[in-house]
């Protein structure tokens, strides 16, 4: 099959929970000075304040979501990584599935990408306000640190233990692939959710679109022991490098 392919698991430690995945960077000729256009969002439906919380006297809150948008602007997956109340998390997911998106672009070409949004809820507004991660970076980290118990996203170095792989699928590279792409590499970034499933896999780097697609498809099928923090299931992020 692909005897020259080597893989090495390494972990992508976060500077904080407000990081954002960049769109796919691929092909050596395109990584010199790429022109990147971020995902744009059309809110066709508001993210409504849950009535159950209003009845309980909960008038403010927030939810943070990571989402993947494909080349056609379709929502592939959405993962709630933090919230003040779980009901705000569900309201956020419900709204996202009704929205429209314009995909990210690199050098004018649409690409799949992953980004992160924070929704803030207030009883005085008609719906939730959406704060992109880039804006949150300017605000600072106080928003996150003020309610750390609600953040489901935990760094790998803070977990009770490194998640153990339970099911690993190798990329479907042929012997010819290995020969044609000797010396090249692919780096795939992904979340591991509370059940150990890989979510929102995306590419940090790839020397070739052909080997990138196969590596991404393989990682999407991986399973791990659920990551835990202080004995509770959480979400974390990691990276996998494939090198020929």
Taking the chain (244 residues) in runs of 10, the rounded mean pLDDT of each run is 41 29 41 68 80 90 90 92 92 90 83 86 70 43 42 91 93 75 84 95 82 87 95 93 83
End-to-end CA separation in angstroms for the chain? 13
pLDDT at 30: 41
Token couple for 135:
């804006």
pLDDT at 147: 44
User: Read out DSSP for 138-195?
Assistant: HH-SHHHHTSGGGB-B--GGGSSSPPPEEE-------HHHHHHTTT-EEEEEEEE-TT
Looking at residue 33, the DSSP 8-state letter turns out to be: S
Tell me if 53 sits within 8 A of 35, measured CB to CB: no
Contacts of 20 (CB under 8 A, 6+ apart): 114, 115, 116, 133, 134
pLDDT at 109: 83
Residues 193, 103: Cα–Cα separation, whole Å: 24
Contacts of 238 (CB under 8 A, 6+ apart): 9, 11, 12, 156, 163, 189, 190, 192
Token couple for 43:
């809110």
pTM (2 decimals)?
A: 0.72
The arrangement of strands across the sheet holding 109-111 comes to 36-37, 104-106, 109-111
Q: How far is CA 160 from the centre of its chain?
A: 22
pLDDT at 142: 37
Residues 21, 19: Cα–Cα separation, whole Å: 7
pLDDT at 212: 83
């Amino acid at each position: 099959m692909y005897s020259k392919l080597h893989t090495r698991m390494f972990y992508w430690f976060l500077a904080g929970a407000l990081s954002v995945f960049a769109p796919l960077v691929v092909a050596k000729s395109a990584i010199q000075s790429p022109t990147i256009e971020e995902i744009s969002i059309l809110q066709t439906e508001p993210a409504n304040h849950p009535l159950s919380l209003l009845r309980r006297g909960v008038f403010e809150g927030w939810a943070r979501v990571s989402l993947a948008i494909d080349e056609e602007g379709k929502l592939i997956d959405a993962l709630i990584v933090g919230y003040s109340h779980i009901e705000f998390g569900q309201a956020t997911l419900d709204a996202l599935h009704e929205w429209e998106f314009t995909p990210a672009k690199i050098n004018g070409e649409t690409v799949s990408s992953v980004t992160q949004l924070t929704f803030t809820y207030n009883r005085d507004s008609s719906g939730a306000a959406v704060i992109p991660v880039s804006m949150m970076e300017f605000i600072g980290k106080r928003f996150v640190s003020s309610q750390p118990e609600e953040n489901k996203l935990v760094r790998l170095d803070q977990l009770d233990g490194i998640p153990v792989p339970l099911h690993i699928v190798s990329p479907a590279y042929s012997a010819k692939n290995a020969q044609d792409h000797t010396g090249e590499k692919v780096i795939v970034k992904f979340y591991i959710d509370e059940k150990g499933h890989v979510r929102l896999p995306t590419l940090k780097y790839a020397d070739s679109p052909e080997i990138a697609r196969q590596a991404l498809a393989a990682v999407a099928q991986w399973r791990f022991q659920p990551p835990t923090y202080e004995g509770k299931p959480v979400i974390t992020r990691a990276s996998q490098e494939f090198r020929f």
